[in-house]
A and B are shown apart, each in its own frame.
Chain A
């Protein structure tokens, strides 16, 4: 079974609008870490934002923010005021805590392609 699931294959939005990308995860650990990365057209993978499971406040970095719904095992990525250069594939990833696959292994989702249209 997939530990990280991204059901949206591709999303198109108009520039300067807000987009939300979904991600659900599966773990038995009480402590875990969630990350969002983006992969540009050149293949470069860029770290964007993280959420630690024990933190109740949603993380925010620049125009990226997270919608962490722990009871639903959901960690959505919200991009406000989208720009053309936000066009990329966005990956959700999870690192489990002590009881699971520890030592830093990241479980990635399949990715969501974001297309920002002028």
Chain B
């Protein structure tokens, strides 16, 4: 099936540093999403993004979080500054449209904040 790529697969950083998580969505998809999964728990929605704008965000999408996709390159999630509670696996997803189409997920980036 369609593939979403995420770089890096693992990232370890010190608390307070900035981190950028990269996502390469399916080529003809227009809607992009980030989800957060703390170890052993369910995935939680963070944000969705379309046409250069955040369309919806959850309470988990703190002020320290930002997303962008400059000129059709990677769809990125930036956290600045990071906190210990940001340690989790972050999954990127994309879909052809927001309404009907299913979302396809990347393999995730495991972020560890020390």
- Our pick among B44, B99, B103 for the contact of A47 (Cβ within 8 Å) is B103
One of B68-76, B80-88, B104-112 at the interface: B104-112
One of A13-21, A66-74, A79-87, A105-113 at the interface: A105-113
- Chain A: residues with Cβ within 8 Å of the partner, total of 23
Query: Whole-angstrom distance between the alpha carbons of A17 and B9 in the complex?
Result: 35
Contacts of B103 in A (CB 8 A): 35, 47, 104, 106
B59 to chain A, nearest CB (A): 12
- Our pick among B42, B50, B99, B107 for the contact of A91 (Cβ within 8 Å) is B42
- Our pick among B31, B43, B107 for the contact of A44 (Cβ within 8 Å) is B107
Q: A105-B48, A108-B44 are in contact. Are A43 and B89 (CB under 8 A)?
A: yes
- Chain B: residues with Cβ within 8 Å of the partner, total of 27
Q: A47-B103, A50-B102 are in contact. Are A105 and B42 (CB under 8 A)?
A: no
Contacts of A64 in B (CB 8 A): none
CB-based contact A103/B48 at 8 Å: yes
Q: A37-B105, A47-B1 are in contact. Are A103 and B98 (CB under 8 A)?
A: yes
B residues near A (Cβ < 8 Å) are 1, 31, 33, 35, 41-45, 48, 50, 55-56, 58, 89, 91, 95, 98-100, 102-105, 107-108, 110
A residues near B (Cβ < 8 Å) are 33, 35, 37, 42-47, 50, 52, 91, 101-111
